[in-house]
Amino acid sequence: MNMQTLHVDLAQRRYPIHVGSGLLTNKELWLPYLRGKQVLVISDENVAPHYLPPIDEALQSDGRQVGQLVLPPGEQEKTMLRFSEALHALAMLRANRDACVVALGGGVVGDLAGFAAACWMRGIDFVQMPTTLLAMVDSSVGGKTAVDLPEGKNLVGAFHQPRAVIADITTLSTLPQRELSAGLAEVVKYGAIFDEGFFAWLEDHTTDLLARRDEVIIEAILRSCQHKANVVARDETEQGDRALLNFGHTFGHALETATEYGSLLHGEAVSIGMLLAARLSAQLGRSTVHDSDRLGALLRRLQLPVELPGGHTPAYLLELMRLDKKSLSGALRLILWRGIGHAEIVRDIPESNVLAVLRA
Ligand code: ADP
Ligand code: ZN
Protein backbone atom coordinates (compact mmCIF):
# COMPACT_ATOMS: atom_id res chain seq x y z
CA MET A 1 0.00 0.00 0.00
CA ASN A 2 1.20 3.42 -0.98
CA MET A 3 -0.76 6.25 0.62
CA GLN A 4 -0.83 9.94 1.40
CA THR A 5 -3.37 11.72 3.58
CA LEU A 6 -4.77 15.19 3.88
CA HIS A 7 -7.62 16.56 5.97
CA VAL A 8 -10.72 18.66 5.58
CA ASP A 9 -10.92 20.95 8.63
CA LEU A 10 -14.44 21.98 9.49
CA ALA A 11 -15.70 24.09 12.37
CA GLN A 12 -17.06 21.01 14.16
CA ARG A 13 -14.62 18.27 13.17
CA ARG A 14 -12.06 17.14 10.63
CA TYR A 15 -11.96 14.16 8.33
CA PRO A 16 -9.23 12.51 6.30
CA ILE A 17 -8.85 12.03 2.57
CA HIS A 18 -6.60 9.04 1.96
CA VAL A 19 -5.15 8.83 -1.55
CA GLY A 20 -3.10 5.95 -2.84
CA SER A 21 -3.12 2.47 -4.34
CA GLY A 22 -4.32 -0.75 -2.77
CA LEU A 23 -6.39 1.03 -0.13
CA LEU A 24 -9.66 -0.87 -0.49
CA THR A 25 -8.00 -4.25 -0.03
CA ASN A 26 -6.38 -2.95 3.15
CA LYS A 27 -9.29 -3.28 5.55
CA GLU A 28 -7.30 -2.13 8.58
CA LEU A 29 -7.27 1.29 6.96
CA TRP A 30 -11.00 1.81 6.51
CA LEU A 31 -12.79 -0.54 8.96
CA PRO A 32 -12.10 1.79 11.92
CA TYR A 33 -14.17 4.51 10.25
CA LEU A 34 -17.29 2.34 10.50
CA ARG A 35 -18.44 2.68 14.08
CA GLY A 36 -21.55 0.50 14.38
CA LYS A 37 -22.59 -2.98 13.50
CA GLN A 38 -24.70 -2.29 10.43
CA VAL A 39 -23.21 -1.19 7.13
CA LEU A 40 -25.05 -0.47 3.91
CA VAL A 41 -22.81 -0.52 0.86
CA ILE A 42 -24.22 1.32 -2.15
CA SER A 43 -22.59 0.79 -5.54
CA ASP A 44 -23.47 0.40 -9.21
CA GLU A 45 -23.42 -2.49 -11.67
CA ASN A 46 -20.19 -1.41 -13.35
CA VAL A 47 -18.27 -1.00 -10.12
CA ALA A 48 -19.66 -3.70 -7.81
CA PRO A 49 -18.37 -6.78 -9.72
CA HIS A 50 -14.79 -5.46 -9.55
CA TYR A 51 -14.54 -3.89 -6.12
CA LEU A 52 -17.41 -4.90 -3.86
CA PRO A 53 -16.54 -8.58 -3.06
CA PRO A 54 -13.37 -7.88 -1.03
CA ILE A 55 -15.14 -5.12 0.88
CA ASP A 56 -18.10 -7.35 1.64
CA GLU A 57 -15.76 -10.12 2.75
CA ALA A 58 -13.83 -7.79 5.04
CA LEU A 59 -17.07 -6.58 6.62
CA GLN A 60 -18.46 -10.10 7.07
CA SER A 61 -15.27 -11.41 8.63
CA ASP A 62 -15.33 -8.44 11.00
CA GLY A 63 -18.79 -9.52 12.17
CA ARG A 64 -20.77 -6.65 10.63
CA GLN A 65 -24.31 -6.88 9.33
CA VAL A 66 -24.04 -5.92 5.70
CA GLY A 67 -26.64 -4.67 3.28
CA GLN A 68 -25.97 -4.04 -0.39
CA LEU A 69 -27.74 -1.82 -2.88
CA VAL A 70 -26.32 -2.12 -6.39
CA LEU A 71 -27.90 0.33 -8.83
CA PRO A 72 -27.87 0.37 -12.60
CA PRO A 73 -25.20 2.89 -13.67
CA GLY A 74 -25.89 6.44 -14.75
CA GLU A 75 -27.17 9.83 -13.67
CA GLN A 76 -30.75 8.84 -14.56
CA GLU A 77 -30.71 6.58 -11.47
CA LYS A 78 -30.02 9.47 -9.07
CA THR A 79 -33.73 9.68 -8.28
CA MET A 80 -36.11 9.97 -5.35
CA LEU A 81 -37.12 6.38 -6.11
CA ARG A 82 -33.57 5.04 -5.68
CA PHE A 83 -33.15 7.24 -2.63
CA SER A 84 -36.20 5.64 -1.01
CA GLU A 85 -34.81 2.20 -1.92
CA ALA A 86 -31.68 3.12 0.00
CA LEU A 87 -33.78 4.12 3.03
CA HIS A 88 -35.70 0.85 2.83
CA ALA A 89 -32.42 -1.04 2.70
CA LEU A 90 -31.40 0.74 5.91
CA ALA A 91 -34.75 -0.15 7.45
CA MET A 92 -34.28 -3.81 6.47
CA LEU A 93 -30.89 -3.74 8.18
CA ARG A 94 -32.57 -2.23 11.25
CA ALA A 95 -29.85 0.36 11.07
CA ASN A 96 -29.18 2.26 14.28
CA ARG A 97 -27.84 5.75 14.76
CA ASP A 98 -24.29 4.37 14.62
CA ALA A 99 -24.82 2.52 11.33
CA CYS A 100 -22.77 3.59 8.33
CA VAL A 101 -23.41 3.99 4.61
CA VAL A 102 -20.48 3.24 2.33
CA ALA A 103 -20.53 4.83 -1.14
CA LEU A 104 -18.51 2.68 -3.54
CA GLY A 105 -18.66 4.27 -6.99
CA GLY A 106 -18.64 7.52 -8.89
CA GLY A 107 -20.41 10.76 -8.20
CA VAL A 108 -23.86 9.33 -8.76
CA VAL A 109 -23.45 6.68 -6.08
CA GLY A 110 -21.72 9.14 -3.74
CA ASP A 111 -24.42 11.81 -4.02
CA LEU A 112 -27.25 9.36 -3.50
CA ALA A 113 -25.60 7.37 -0.69
CA GLY A 114 -24.60 10.58 1.07
CA PHE A 115 -28.13 11.94 0.90
CA ALA A 116 -29.57 8.68 2.27
CA ALA A 117 -27.06 8.86 5.14
CA ALA A 118 -27.98 12.51 5.72
CA CYS A 119 -31.66 11.63 6.09
CA TRP A 120 -31.70 8.27 7.89
CA MET A 121 -32.52 9.08 11.52
CA ARG A 122 -31.61 12.71 10.72
CA GLY A 123 -28.09 11.78 9.79
CA ILE A 124 -25.75 8.83 10.18
CA ASP A 125 -22.12 8.31 9.19
CA PHE A 126 -21.02 7.71 5.68
CA VAL A 127 -17.70 6.87 4.08
CA GLN A 128 -16.82 7.74 0.51
CA MET A 129 -14.93 5.19 -1.58
CA PRO A 130 -14.83 7.05 -4.91
CA THR A 131 -13.98 5.02 -8.02
CA THR A 132 -13.96 7.72 -10.70
CA LEU A 133 -11.33 10.44 -10.99
CA LEU A 134 -14.12 13.01 -10.95
CA ALA A 135 -15.49 11.73 -7.65
CA MET A 136 -11.96 11.51 -6.16
CA VAL A 137 -11.13 15.15 -6.89
CA ASP A 138 -14.53 16.72 -6.54
CA SER A 139 -17.83 15.18 -5.52
CA SER A 140 -16.60 12.87 -2.73
CA VAL A 141 -15.04 15.81 -0.85
CA GLY A 142 -17.04 18.63 0.66
CA GLY A 143 -20.32 17.12 1.76
CA LYS A 144 -22.71 18.06 -1.02
CA THR A 145 -25.27 15.27 -1.40
CA ALA A 146 -28.37 15.22 -3.59
CA VAL A 147 -30.73 13.48 -5.96
CA ASP A 148 -32.31 14.82 -9.14
CA LEU A 149 -35.93 15.61 -9.93
CA PRO A 150 -37.44 15.50 -13.43
CA GLU A 151 -37.39 19.32 -13.16
CA GLY A 152 -33.64 19.51 -12.68
CA LYS A 153 -30.38 18.14 -11.34
CA ASN A 154 -29.50 18.10 -7.62
CA LEU A 155 -32.70 19.88 -6.60
CA VAL A 156 -33.16 17.83 -3.42
CA GLY A 157 -30.21 17.42 -1.13
CA ALA A 158 -28.29 18.29 2.00
CA PHE A 159 -24.84 19.21 3.21
CA HIS A 160 -23.56 16.08 4.96
CA GLN A 161 -19.82 15.55 5.34
CA PRO A 162 -18.35 12.03 5.14
CA ARG A 163 -16.38 10.43 8.00
CA ALA A 164 -13.55 9.71 5.60
CA VAL A 165 -12.73 9.61 1.89
CA ILE A 166 -10.77 6.58 0.68
CA ALA A 167 -9.55 7.34 -2.85
CA ASP A 168 -7.98 4.12 -4.13
CA ILE A 169 -6.47 4.80 -7.55
CA THR A 170 -6.23 1.06 -8.21
CA THR A 171 -9.94 1.32 -9.09
CA LEU A 172 -9.14 3.71 -11.95
CA SER A 173 -7.60 0.83 -13.93
CA THR A 174 -11.09 -0.14 -15.16
CA LEU A 175 -12.38 3.40 -15.73
CA PRO A 176 -13.08 4.17 -19.41
CA GLN A 177 -10.65 6.70 -20.94
CA ARG A 178 -13.42 9.16 -21.67
CA GLU A 179 -14.45 9.18 -17.98
CA LEU A 180 -10.81 9.71 -16.99
CA SER A 181 -10.56 12.78 -19.22
CA ALA A 182 -13.85 14.10 -17.86
CA GLY A 183 -12.36 13.89 -14.37
CA LEU A 184 -9.25 15.71 -15.58
CA ALA A 185 -11.47 18.66 -16.54
CA GLU A 186 -12.23 19.21 -12.83
CA VAL A 187 -8.52 18.84 -12.05
CA VAL A 188 -7.70 21.57 -14.59
CA LYS A 189 -10.38 23.69 -12.93
CA TYR A 190 -8.40 23.89 -9.67
CA GLY A 191 -5.36 25.15 -11.54
CA ALA A 192 -7.48 27.58 -13.50
CA ILE A 193 -9.19 29.13 -10.50
CA PHE A 194 -6.58 28.92 -7.72
CA ASP A 195 -3.12 27.85 -8.77
CA GLU A 196 -1.08 28.79 -11.82
CA GLY A 197 1.80 26.58 -10.63
CA PHE A 198 -0.47 23.54 -10.64
CA PHE A 199 -1.81 24.54 -14.05
CA ALA A 200 1.74 24.62 -15.42
CA TRP A 201 2.48 21.24 -13.78
CA LEU A 202 -0.57 19.81 -15.56
CA GLU A 203 0.69 21.23 -18.87
CA ASP A 204 3.96 19.37 -18.26
CA HIS A 205 2.29 16.04 -17.38
CA THR A 206 -0.52 15.53 -19.89
CA THR A 207 0.98 12.32 -21.31
CA ASP A 208 1.51 10.77 -17.86
CA LEU A 209 -1.97 11.79 -16.76
CA LEU A 210 -3.61 10.17 -19.78
CA ALA A 211 -1.43 7.08 -19.29
CA ARG A 212 -2.53 7.00 -15.63
CA ARG A 213 0.97 6.87 -14.20
CA ASP A 214 0.35 6.18 -10.51
CA GLU A 215 2.54 8.89 -8.96
CA VAL A 216 1.27 11.52 -11.36
CA ILE A 217 -2.38 10.63 -10.83
CA ILE A 218 -1.85 10.60 -7.05
CA GLU A 219 -0.22 14.02 -7.16
CA ALA A 220 -3.02 15.43 -9.31
CA ILE A 221 -5.63 14.10 -6.87
CA LEU A 222 -3.80 15.35 -3.78
CA ARG A 223 -3.26 18.83 -5.18
CA SER A 224 -6.90 19.01 -6.31
CA CYS A 225 -8.26 17.75 -2.98
CA GLN A 226 -6.06 20.19 -1.06
CA HIS A 227 -7.65 23.08 -2.95
CA LYS A 228 -11.10 21.68 -2.43
CA ALA A 229 -10.45 21.03 1.28
CA ASN A 230 -9.18 24.60 1.73
CA VAL A 231 -12.18 26.21 0.15
CA VAL A 232 -14.65 23.92 1.94
CA ALA A 233 -12.97 24.71 5.27
CA ARG A 234 -13.37 28.45 4.56
CA ASP A 235 -16.93 28.22 3.30
CA GLU A 236 -18.65 24.92 4.04
CA THR A 237 -22.13 25.86 2.79
CA GLU A 238 -21.19 28.09 -0.15
CA GLN A 239 -22.04 31.51 1.22
CA GLY A 240 -18.90 32.96 -0.37
CA ASP A 241 -15.85 31.80 -2.25
CA ARG A 242 -16.79 28.09 -2.46
CA ALA A 243 -18.80 29.40 -5.43
CA LEU A 244 -15.50 29.77 -7.32
CA LEU A 245 -15.60 25.99 -7.77
CA ASN A 246 -18.45 26.62 -10.20
CA PHE A 247 -16.04 28.05 -12.79
CA GLY A 248 -17.34 26.83 -16.16
CA HIS A 249 -20.39 25.28 -14.55
CA THR A 250 -23.16 27.76 -15.43
CA PHE A 251 -22.23 27.39 -19.09
CA GLY A 252 -21.68 23.67 -18.54
CA HIS A 253 -25.04 23.02 -16.92
CA ALA A 254 -26.80 24.84 -19.74
CA LEU A 255 -25.01 22.55 -22.22
CA GLU A 256 -25.88 19.45 -20.22
CA THR A 257 -29.53 20.48 -20.20
CA ALA A 258 -29.55 21.46 -23.87
CA THR A 259 -28.07 18.10 -24.85
CA GLU A 260 -30.49 16.39 -22.43
CA TYR A 261 -27.60 14.75 -20.58
CA GLY A 262 -27.15 12.47 -23.60
CA SER A 263 -24.01 13.39 -25.46
CA LEU A 264 -21.82 15.22 -22.96
CA LEU A 265 -20.36 13.95 -19.70
CA HIS A 266 -20.38 16.48 -16.87
CA GLY A 267 -16.63 17.02 -17.09
CA GLU A 268 -16.86 17.51 -20.85
CA ALA A 269 -19.56 20.15 -20.44
CA VAL A 270 -17.39 21.83 -17.80
CA SER A 271 -14.43 21.77 -20.21
CA ILE A 272 -16.39 23.70 -22.83
CA GLY A 273 -17.90 25.90 -20.11
CA MET A 274 -14.52 26.87 -18.63
CA LEU A 275 -13.24 27.95 -22.01
CA LEU A 276 -16.39 30.02 -22.60
CA ALA A 277 -15.93 31.67 -19.18
CA ALA A 278 -12.30 32.43 -20.03
CA ARG A 279 -13.26 33.88 -23.42
CA LEU A 280 -15.98 35.99 -21.83
CA SER A 281 -13.44 37.29 -19.31
CA ALA A 282 -11.13 38.28 -22.16
CA GLN A 283 -13.97 39.90 -24.04
CA LEU A 284 -14.85 41.96 -20.97
CA GLY A 285 -11.22 43.07 -20.73
CA ARG A 286 -10.64 41.25 -17.44
CA SER A 287 -8.00 38.83 -18.75
CA THR A 288 -5.89 38.09 -21.80
CA VAL A 289 -6.66 35.97 -24.85
CA HIS A 290 -3.27 34.34 -24.25
CA ASP A 291 -4.59 32.76 -21.03
CA SER A 292 -7.80 31.48 -22.61
CA ASP A 293 -5.74 30.00 -25.45
CA ARG A 294 -3.52 28.25 -22.90
CA LEU A 295 -6.60 26.80 -21.21
CA GLY A 296 -8.03 25.63 -24.53
CA ALA A 297 -4.74 23.98 -25.48
CA LEU A 298 -4.44 22.10 -22.18
CA LEU A 299 -8.03 20.84 -22.33
CA ARG A 300 -7.56 19.70 -25.93
CA ARG A 301 -4.38 17.81 -25.03
CA LEU A 302 -6.32 16.04 -22.29
CA GLN A 303 -8.74 14.85 -24.99
CA LEU A 304 -11.56 17.07 -23.83
CA PRO A 305 -14.04 18.89 -26.07
CA VAL A 306 -13.67 22.67 -26.21
CA GLU A 307 -16.20 23.67 -28.85
CA LEU A 308 -19.90 24.24 -28.41
CA PRO A 309 -21.92 21.38 -29.90
CA GLY A 310 -24.02 22.66 -32.78
CA GLY A 311 -27.76 22.88 -32.92
CA HIS A 312 -28.49 25.20 -29.98
CA THR A 313 -29.14 28.88 -30.44
CA PRO A 314 -27.21 31.28 -28.20
CA ALA A 315 -30.54 32.71 -26.99
CA TYR A 316 -31.70 29.28 -25.83
CA LEU A 317 -28.43 28.56 -24.02
CA LEU A 318 -28.61 31.96 -22.32
CA GLU A 319 -32.15 31.18 -21.21
CA LEU A 320 -30.92 27.94 -19.62
CA MET A 321 -28.09 29.82 -17.90
CA ARG A 322 -30.60 32.21 -16.32
CA LEU A 323 -32.40 29.21 -14.81
CA ASP A 324 -29.21 27.89 -13.21
CA LYS A 325 -29.73 27.79 -9.47
CA LYS A 326 -26.55 29.73 -8.88
CA SER A 327 -27.78 32.90 -10.54
CA LEU A 328 -29.58 34.94 -7.92
CA SER A 329 -32.99 36.38 -8.85
CA GLY A 330 -32.40 36.39 -12.57
CA ALA A 331 -29.35 38.69 -12.74
CA LEU A 332 -26.46 36.87 -14.40
CA ARG A 333 -23.75 36.06 -11.92
CA LEU A 334 -20.86 34.04 -13.28
CA ILE A 335 -17.47 32.85 -12.18
CA LEU A 336 -14.93 34.50 -14.46
CA TRP A 337 -11.18 34.94 -14.14
CA ARG A 338 -8.43 37.55 -14.21
CA GLY A 339 -6.22 34.92 -15.79
CA ILE A 340 -4.87 31.47 -14.91
CA GLY A 341 -5.07 30.93 -11.15
CA HIS A 342 -7.36 33.88 -10.39
CA ALA A 343 -11.09 33.26 -10.50
CA GLU A 344 -13.63 35.76 -9.27
CA ILE A 345 -17.39 36.11 -8.86
CA VAL A 346 -18.81 38.69 -11.26
CA ARG A 347 -22.33 40.10 -11.05
CA ASP A 348 -24.51 41.90 -13.57
CA ILE A 349 -22.75 40.69 -16.67
CA PRO A 350 -24.39 42.20 -19.77
CA GLU A 351 -26.28 39.51 -21.64
CA SER A 352 -25.04 40.89 -24.94
CA ASN A 353 -21.48 39.82 -24.00
CA VAL A 354 -22.62 36.35 -23.03
CA LEU A 355 -24.49 36.01 -26.31
CA ALA A 356 -21.38 37.12 -28.18
CA VAL A 357 -19.20 34.30 -26.76
CA LEU A 358 -21.98 31.79 -27.34
CA ARG A 359 -22.12 32.95 -30.97
CA ALA A 360 -18.36 33.01 -31.62
P1 ADP B 1 -19.08 10.67 -12.05
O2 ADP B 1 -18.24 10.11 -10.99
O3 ADP B 1 -18.33 11.02 -13.27
O4 ADP B 1 -19.93 11.78 -11.52
P5 ADP B 1 -20.78 8.24 -12.40
O6 ADP B 1 -21.00 7.89 -10.99
O7 ADP B 1 -21.99 8.27 -13.28
O8 ADP B 1 -20.16 9.66 -12.59
O9 ADP B 1 -19.71 7.26 -13.04
C10 ADP B 1 -19.42 7.34 -14.41
C11 ADP B 1 -19.50 5.97 -15.08
O12 ADP B 1 -18.33 5.22 -14.77
C13 ADP B 1 -20.66 5.12 -14.64
O14 ADP B 1 -21.12 4.39 -15.76
C15 ADP B 1 -20.04 4.17 -13.63
O16 ADP B 1 -20.74 2.96 -13.54
C17 ADP B 1 -18.67 3.96 -14.20
N18 ADP B 1 -17.60 3.67 -13.24
C19 ADP B 1 -17.40 4.29 -12.06
N20 ADP B 1 -16.27 3.87 -11.50
C21 ADP B 1 -15.74 2.94 -12.33
C22 ADP B 1 -14.56 2.14 -12.31
N23 ADP B 1 -13.66 2.27 -11.34
N24 ADP B 1 -14.38 1.28 -13.34
C25 ADP B 1 -15.26 1.19 -14.35
N26 ADP B 1 -16.36 1.94 -14.45
C27 ADP B 1 -16.61 2.79 -13.45
ZN1 ZN C 1 -18.38 19.78 -11.67
Q: Which of 29-33, 77-81, 152-156, 290-294 comes out lowest in average pLDDT?
A: 152-156
Task: Give me the residue spans of the domains in the chain.
Answer: 2-174, 177-359
Confidence of residue 325 (pLDDT cuts 50, 70, 90): low
Per-residue pLDDT tens for 143-185? 999 999 988 889 999 999 999 999 999 999 999 999 999 999 9
Q: Clarify whether 18 is annotated catalytic.
A: no
Q: Which of 42, 178, 179, 253 to mutate to test the pocket of ligand 1 (most atoms within 8 A of CB)?
A: 179
Ligand 1 lining (C-beta closer than 6 Å): 44, 46-47, 73-75, 105-109, 131-132, 134-135, 139, 171, 174-175, 179, 266
| Residue from 78, 160, 163, 253 carrying the catalytic annotation | 253
In terms of CATH architecture, what is 2-174? 3-Layer(aba) Sandwich (3.40)
Q: How much distance in Å is there from the Cα of 347 to the middle of ligand 1? A: 35
HEC string of the chain equals CEEEEEEEECCCCEEEEEEEECCCCCHHHHHHHCCCCEEEEEEECCCHHHHHHHHHHHHHHCCCEEEEEEECCCHHHCCHHHHHHHHHHHHHCCCCCCCEEEEEECHHHHHHHHHHHHHHHHCCEEEEEECCHHHHHHHCCCCEEEEEECCEEEEEEEECCCCEEEEEHHHHHHCCHHHHHHHHHHHHHHHHHHCHHHHHHHHHCHHHHHCCCHHHHHHHHHHHHHHHHHHHHHCCCCCCHHHHHHCCHHHHHHHHHHCCCCCCCHHHHHHHHHHHHHHHHHHCCCCCHHHHHHHHHHHHHCCCCCCCCCCCCHHHHHHHHHHCCCCHHHCCEEEEEEECCEEEEEECCCHHHHHHHHHC
Atom of ligand 1 nearest to the CA of 74: 7
Q: Clarify whether 242 is annotated catalytic.
A: yes
Residue 217: per-residue pLDDT: 98
Residue 327 predicted with pLDDT over 60 = no
| Residue from 64, 78, 227, 242 carrying the catalytic annotation | 242
Residue 329: per-residue pLDDT: 61
Residue 101: per-residue pLDDT: 98
Per-residue pLDDT tens for 58-85? 999 999 999 999 999 999 999 999 999 9
In this structure, the residue with its CA closest to atom 5 of ligand 1 is 106
Residue 301: per-residue pLDDT: 98
CATH T-level fold of 177-359: Dehydroquinate synthase-like, alpha domain (1.20.1090)
Residue 48: per-residue pLDDT: 98
In this structure, the residue with its CA closest to atom 17 of ligand 1 is 46
**Rounded mean pLDDT of 202-217?**
98
Q: Clarify whether 266 is annotated catalytic.
A: yes
Query: In CATH terms, are 2-174 and 177-359 the same topology?
Result: no
Residue 324 predicted with pLDDT over 80 = no
Q: Clarify whether 351 is annotated catalytic.
A: no
